[in-house]
Structure 1
Amino acid sequence: MTDGPSTGTMIPRSLFVYALLYGGLVVLAGVLGTKISEIGPLHVESGIFAFLMLVVLSSAVAELHGKDTADKLVRYGFLPLILSMALIFIVIRMPPAPFWTLQDQFAGILGQGARLQLAGLISYGISQTLNVYVFTKLKGEGSGRAAWLRGLIAGLLSQALDTVLFITIAFYGVVDPGSGQEMPIVDIMTGQIIAKLTLVVVFVPLLITACVKLGQRLDGKAA
């Protein structure tokens, strides 16, 4: 455990480790999301892999330390997210060194418009909050068994909502410069939801179980 600097309270090791991972993954999700990957017949923005870990970590923290702590983790996640956006904005606009010729590629990959950034902030906050709420609500007054099942249900609902919010806010009414027509947000949304939900089913139950067990070991609550 880690001593709190001003209150003398003890921060559980699992919470300390998972909070560090959570903050880093919040930033990484936005960076990875600039690439669209192909997984069999599915096409998915690569940030989903980091975002699935956010779902797993917030659920694990809720299981280990309660809903209030997990909610704080989600809210504090806005800090590295907003700070990283601000730093990227600043660095893109700094003049490149004369011998560095990748300015356009750098700006093209990392630069996002204000609308995309707003969509990311809103979808992150609402979907992660929903994930924690559903995960803990399903637990009720029980002993905490079947964390993997509660995590699966919460992950499915939160990721579906995340996609609907992000695609709608980011692309509703946007005209495709190539075709001159509005972006087909329903088609984009459908493909993304199928891809994300498939990944949730495959990865989230196993990862939540592993993170909860690891957290218990870090806190000295399991052999």
Structure 2
Amino acid sequence: MTTTPLARVDAGALRGRALRYYDLFMAAFVAILLLSNIVGASKPAMVTLPFYGPWVFGAGVFFFPFSYIIGDVLTEVYGYARARRVIWAGFGALLFYAVMAWIVVALPPAPGWPGQSAYESVFGNGWRIVLASMTAFWAGEFANSFVLARMKILTQGKHLWMRTIGSTVVGQGLDSLIFYPLAFYGLAGWPIEQLGQVIVSQFLLKTAWEAALTPLTYLVVNRLKRAEGLDVFDETTDFTPFGTKI
């Protein structure tokens, strides 16, 4: 990335300005959100920890936090309104996935094809998972972006680690608390004790994972700000989550 002089600007001043890497981060966010919900969300995994014993966690925990990291980067570099647009783009992609999964599962299989039961097992809960994800993400991701944007103003742009981790605690807490009960409560293979353990472990793991990646977040944010030549503050932003206006 080439560098240009860095300037502090209000988010509203970006209207009509060409942004070099915004679309790439939007694409990355949507891809990670989709794959985390399709591949990782449905499987509870287990490892045996020393001095603790079996520990159950959602298999997508290693990848889903990257969507929050990208959300932090988008809010920090481009402002809340553009992060909000990316979140709604992700919701649209999830909705398309849900419709597609429902149609594919419902179509009669060709005679002799043995994969229908596997398809139903993996994709049959698509609507429930997607609706749970959209509800949890509405609360979690918007809370994450709001907290980060407001903390940036309060800290005058200092202490990036404080606002990325602080916003993550709020966002991931809401996301884990909402998503797993809505998606899996009452399903076979998800007893209530295991569900509670997964909620707690998901929150702790996702928060710890994002905190561990703070140096990477610093690197990406600083390089991206220099490449775009700006440092956005949401001083006049309308923080409603309803809408995509920038």
TM-score, normalised via structure 1 length: 0.79
Structure 1 distance, partners of 2:184, 2:45, is 20
Question: How far has the Cα of 1:135 moved from its partner?
Answer: 0.9
In the TM superposition, what is the alpha-carbon distance from 1:96 to its structure 2 partner?
A: 3.1
Deviation at 1:93, TM superposition (A): 1.9
Q: CA RMSD in A?
A: 2.9
Runs of 4+ in 1 over 6 A off after TM superposition: none
| Worse overlay, 86-95 or 212-221 | 212-221
The answer to whether structure 1 residue 36 and structure 2 residue 44 are counterparts is: yes
Q: Which residue of 2 aligns with 1:168?
A: 181
Alignment of 1:91-110 (within 5 A): 91-98=104-111, 100-110=113-123
- Note the residue ranges of structure 1 that are not aligned, 5 or more in a row: 1-8
Q: Partner residue of 2:24?
A: 17
Q: Which amino acid aligns with 2:208?
A: T
In the superposition, relative to structure 1, how do residues 218 and 47 fare at CA in structure 2: closer, same or farther (>3 Å)? farther
Which residue number in structure 1 is paired with residue 6 of structure 2? none
Residues in 2 aligned to 1:141 and 1:65: alpha-carbon distance in whole angstroms: 17
1:128–1:29 CA distance, 2 compared to 1 (3 A): same
Are residues 14 and 146 of structure 1, via their aligned partners in 2, closer, same or farther at CA, if it must alter by over 3 Å? farther
What is aligned with 1:5?
Answer: none
CA separation in 2, counterparts of 1:99 and 1:217?
Answer: 58
Inter-partner Cα distance in structure 1 for 2:126 and 2:23: 33
Per-residue deviation at 1:186?
3.4
Gaps of 5+ in 2: 1-15, 50-54, 231-246
Q: Does 1:216 align with 2:225?
A: yes
* Cα distance in 2, alignment partners of residues 99 and 214 from structure 1: 55
The structure whose RCO (Cα within 8 Å, separation 6+) is larger is: 2
Q: Does 1:193 align with 2:208?
A: no
The one-letter amino acid of 1:193's match is F
Superposition pairs of residues 123-134 of structure 1, within 5 angstroms: 123-134=136-147
- CA 1:194–1:107 in structure 2 vs 1: closer, same or farther (change >3 Å)? same
One-letter identity of the residue aligned with 2:209: L
Question: What per-residue deviation string (whole Å, max 9, x for no partner) do you get for residues 164-212 of structure 1?
Answer: 111333355x37589xxx7234344233333333323323x13322331
- Please state how far the C-alpha of 1:120 moved relative to its aligned partner: 1.5
